């Protein structure tokens, strides 16, 4: 069963927002056995939307549309869909009740533009929006399913989870797609490929292998396509097991999770705790951990010691150390990681200090110079890295490097 | 001048990665006066890529393609492009030198698959990749420009900045697109629309207004399309000024920046400093600030006090307060914000504690309960908010709420 996602709105096309909806929707659809054939972002333009709908309907069985359902004049999705199907807009009582209820809750008057939000194409089934005023719409036309949802992420997500996915599952006979992902750290894509070339060559046509490289990590993804989960899943798993055995020394996780989640899982299992002293990454590493449920079992917290005075007061970094070697130095990062272990009383700690840029560099310490320390009470690893002059990249690469270092330390310590 | 972006790779279509490249490219293209007509994500599939190229070439003058240029077997972009143009792949000496140089730098042997990366369609101009082994490619065919780049974000970004954008500017006579964005906080989309309806109605056809709502904020974006920047820009600015005057009470920034950047700018200008004590947001607010260059002028840092012991040791929250009222309470968040002001010696502080979920709620304090305090030495605002049970959303909404509260406090204090 094939789907296409069409996102409507100029804000994506001018680069004002990143389209995070589509990835989320695609992952959810894959989970229930619907493959996404194409994702298209088109403008708030009548003719363009009509063309996109027509092209998508030629390729896919299910067309999911997000965006362009707001109350304002630039939002033309609804009337364009009505035109596409050649039907009229009619007021829907259920949708009107929902809009009225929401405005009553906030004690705000119901404006005419909001009333118009309850107008829907006459051939649709309304999907209730519990988190906003724009109703979702479900159409079944000539054997194809069209689903229109708001572009506001949380409105769309609740609507997908509560209504759209269950309805798709109950309406369609869905095939099976099995993905199995292996996270590797520290080996390049082409070297990995060389090491597992014979396994890759032996894959049947309905199981594919993809390499997904990112900042010193490569995820290997096996995707199996079939009818019967009971036979397909063991087959995909068996190929995954072969790959894992072959490249065991660089496997950080045997599932599709980011490195910090693999670390959290490992530390939770072993009953270990972690704290972090971040300077140049400014909270980025902490929020990577804390975005995951259950992080508090492992993560005590830490300090974002952006100023030198915080390095001294919270981490006991000596002011002579900073004066002599500078805030960005092996000496300072060592005292930071020791201070974190001591003051926050965790089993492991990460410390990081650097010049994220774009300013603040010197000839000896150019922008992109980063010192990282990872330590337990028994063992400490300190490393200097040199990146480029792009701030966000420096922050992200510093974080991933620190996580890779901690992951290695954790696994080495276990041996 | 119209462009289309085609991203190639199954990883976007199965939701494994979010396509951040396209938004970045679209913003850069807009800056030089190229409008993006459509963004399409398609699979690593020969026929699908051929169809996407054909459809895009009907709509756009410039087709930018990212992804599928890796050394492994699932990457078929290059040979599919060659097939599309009906040409052969040939070895390019410059690209081969680059691959050889990179492998020499890392003291790794040059594998046959890497040599193949220097093969390019014979009708292309090679775009050098200083940050990776896959060359970029520029084609001019039947009056259309096709540009193929790697999907790895930093490789693509350097290639765009150093080669592609300058070459587009020197090759084409580009029209002018002027965007002007106003960030508003605390007023709903439809109420804003009502307040500025007459200004919106008076816009000429070549200036459009869009409403971009997100978590308690609405950005108003004016886009002007024309030939002459010298006349278009003042005209767009004049309409922007009218809107700003009308809704001045809710304007947080008169440019396209996020709320934390508006706060940083305001505080930098006034010489004010900030620290943050984060519990449930776990570093998310800190990294919002520290992603911006120059954040260190304002932001001293803070603590991610995930555990109670860190709340006590670093923020001086009294253990009796936590015992009596709980870690998630108005009393605790008040002591947190006071502790941050006192210990980190900043002019302003944010403190936040809550239950991000999905677990950890109680009947009295369900998941999604969040306490936020913002304070200066003279003034303090404490607020309880109640969100849903989605962890990431709770973190993001808590952060935005805290930023909105701080923004209001800063501007109220100035009066």
Taking 70 as the threshold, does the pLDDT of residue A382 lie above it? Answer: yes
The pLDDT assigned to B415 comes to 46
Q: Which domains does chain B have, with CATH numbers?
A: 2-171 (3.40.980.10), 176-253 (3.30.70.2860), 259-413 (3.90.950.20)
Q: What is the pTM of this model?
A: 0.80
Where b means 16+ CB within 10 Å and e means fewer, B169-192 reads: eeeeeeebbbbbbbbbbebbbbbb
User: Which one of B283, B336, B357 makes the best mutation probe of the A interface by having the most chain A beta carbons within 10 Å?
Assistant: B283
Q: Cα distance from A266 to chain B (closest Cα, Å)?
A: 19
> Which of A22-36, A296-310, B102-116, B155-169 is predicted with the least confidence, judged by mean pLDDT?
B102-116
**How far apart (Å, rounded) are the C-alpha atoms in residues B10 and A189?**
17
Q: What is the pLDDT of residue B413?
A: 67
Percentage of chain B beyond pLDDT 90 is 75
**Chain A: closest CA distance from residue B204 (Å):** 14
For chain A positions 383-402, those within 8 Å of chain B (CB to CB) are 388, 390-393, 395
Sign of the torsion formed by the C-alpha atoms of A164, A169, A173 and A179: positive
- Bridge partner residues of A375 (DSSP): A349, A380
Question: Rounded mean pLDDT of chain A?
Answer: 93
Looking at beta carbons, which residues of chain B come within 8 Å of A343? 313-314
Which letter does DSSP use for residue B345 in this model? Answer: -
Whether residue B114 and residue A190 make contact (CB cut-off 8 A), yes or no, is: yes
Residue-wise pLDDT tens digits, B187-213: 888 899 999 999 999 999 999 998 888
Q: Does B197 touch chain A (CB under 8 A)?
A: no
Structure tokens at B326: 């709980």
pLDDT of B145 higher than 90: yes
Using CB atoms, pick whichever of A29, A37, A111 lies closest to residue B190.
A111
A368–chain B nearest CA distance, Å? 13
B13-63 pLDDT, tens per residue? 988 888 999 999 999 998 888 999 999 999 989 999 999 999 999 999 999
Q: Checking phi first, is residue B149 left (phi over 0); if not, alpha (psi -120 to 50) or beta?
A: beta
How sure is the predictor about B414, in pLDDT bands with cuts at 50, 70 and 90? low
**For B67, nearest residue in chain A (alpha carbons):** A212
pLDDT tens per residue, range A265-300: 999 999 999 999 999 999 999 999 999 999 999 999
Give the nearest partner residue to B23 out of A18, A48, A152, using CB atoms. Answer: A18
> What pLDDT shows up at residue A131?
85
Q: Coil, strand, or helix at residue A68?
A: coil
Contacts of residue A293, Cβ cutoff 8 Å, sequence gap at least 6: B357, B358, B359, B391
Minimum CA–CA partner of B106 in chain A: A188
Please give the average per-residue pLDDT across B55-83, as a whole number: 91
pLDDT tens digit sequence for A388-404: 888 988 999 999 999 99
Kindly tell me if the per-residue pLDDT of A25 is higher than 90. yes
In the stretch 341-360 of chain A, residues with CB closer than 8 A to chain B read 343-345, 356-360
Could you tell me which residue, B11 or A333, shows the higher pLDDT?
A333
The 3 state secondary structure assigned to A238-252 is HHHHHHHHHCHHHEE
Interface of A with B in 305-334 (CB under 8 A): 305-307, 309-310, 313-314
Residue B350 has pLDDT above 90, yes or no: yes
Q: Is A118 on the interface with B (CB under 8 A)?
A: no
Highest averaged pLDDT of the listed ranges A130-139, A247-256, A278-287:
A278-287
Using pLDDT thresholds of 50, 70 and 90, give the confidence band for residue A105. confident
Contacts of B190 in chain A (CB under 8 A): 71-72, 111, 113-114
pLDDT tens column, A153-204: 889 999 999 999 999 999 998 888 898 999 998 888 889 999 999 999 999 9
Q: How confident is the model at residue A413 (pLDDT cuts 50, 70, 90)?
A: low
**Are residues A177 and A170 in contact, defined by beta-carbon separation less than 8 angstroms?**
no
A204 close to B (CB below 8 A): no
Residues of A in contact with B193 (CB under 8 A): 71-73, 113
On the question of a cis peptide bond just before residue A358, with omega within 30 degrees of 0, the verdict is: yes
Asked whether residue B233 carries a pLDDT value surpassing 90, the answer given is yes
Mean predicted lDDT score pLDDT of chain B: 93
Please indicate whether, in this complex, the C-beta atoms of A154 and B359 are within 8 angstroms of each other. Answer: no
pLDDT class for B177, splitting at 50, 70, 90? confident
Burial annotation B210-234 (CB, 10 A radius, 16+ → b, else e): bbbbebbbbbbbbbbbbeeeeebee
Phi, psi of A159 (to 5 degrees): -65, -40
B116 lies within 8 A of chain A by CB = no
At A415 the pLDDT is 46
């Amino acid at each position: 069963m094939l789907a296409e996602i069409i996102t409507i709105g100029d804000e994506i096309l001018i680069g004002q927002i990143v389209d995070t909806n589509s990835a989320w929707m695609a992952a959810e659809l894959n989970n229930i056995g619907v493959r996404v054939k194409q994702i298209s972002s088109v403008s708030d333009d009548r003719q363009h939307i009509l063309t996109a709908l027509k092209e998508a309907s030629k390729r896919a069985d299910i067309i999911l549309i997000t965006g362009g359902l707001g109350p304002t004049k630039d939002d033309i999705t609804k009337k364009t869909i009505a035109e596409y199907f050649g039907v009229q807009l009619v007021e829907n009582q259920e949708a009107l009740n929902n809009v009225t209820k929401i405005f009553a809750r906030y004690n705000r008057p119901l404006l005419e533009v909001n009333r118009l939000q309850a107008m829907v194409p006459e051939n649709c089934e309304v999907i209730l929006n519990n988190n906003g005023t724009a109703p979702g719409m479900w159409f079944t036309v000539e054997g194809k399913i069209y689903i229109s949802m708001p572009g506001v992420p949380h409105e769309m997500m609740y609507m997908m989870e509560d209504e759209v996915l269950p309805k798709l599952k109950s309406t369609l006979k869905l095939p099976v797609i099995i993905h199995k992902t292996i996270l590797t750290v520290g080996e390049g894509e082409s070297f990995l490929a060389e090491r597992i070339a014979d396994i890759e060559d032996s894959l049947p046509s309905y199981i594919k292998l993809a390499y997904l490289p990112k900042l010193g990590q490569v995820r290997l993804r096996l995707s199996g396509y079939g009818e019967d989960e009971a036979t397909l899943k063991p087959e995909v798993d068996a190929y995954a097991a072969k790959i894992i055995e072959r490249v065991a020394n660089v496997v950080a996780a045997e599932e599709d999770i980011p490195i910090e989640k693999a670390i959290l899982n490992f530390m939770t299992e072993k009953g270990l705790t972690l704290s972090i002293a971040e300077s140049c990454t400014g909270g980025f590493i902490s929020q990577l951990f804390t975005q995951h449920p259950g992080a508090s079992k492992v993560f005590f917290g830490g300090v974002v010691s952006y100023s030198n005075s915080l390095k001294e007061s919270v981490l006991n970094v000596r002011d002579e150390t900073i004066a002599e070697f500078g805030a960005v130095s092996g000496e300072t990062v060592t005292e930071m990681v020791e201070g974190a272990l001591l003051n926050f009383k965790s089993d492991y700690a990460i410390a990081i200090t650097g010049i994220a840029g774009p300013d603040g560099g010197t000839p000896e310490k150019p922008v992109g110079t980063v010192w990282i320390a990872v330590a337990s009470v028994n063992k400490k690893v300190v490393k200097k890295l040199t990146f480029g002059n792009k701030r966000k990249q420096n922050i992200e690469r510093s974080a991933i490097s620190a996580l890779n270092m901690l992951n290695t330390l954790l696994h080495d310590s276990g041996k």
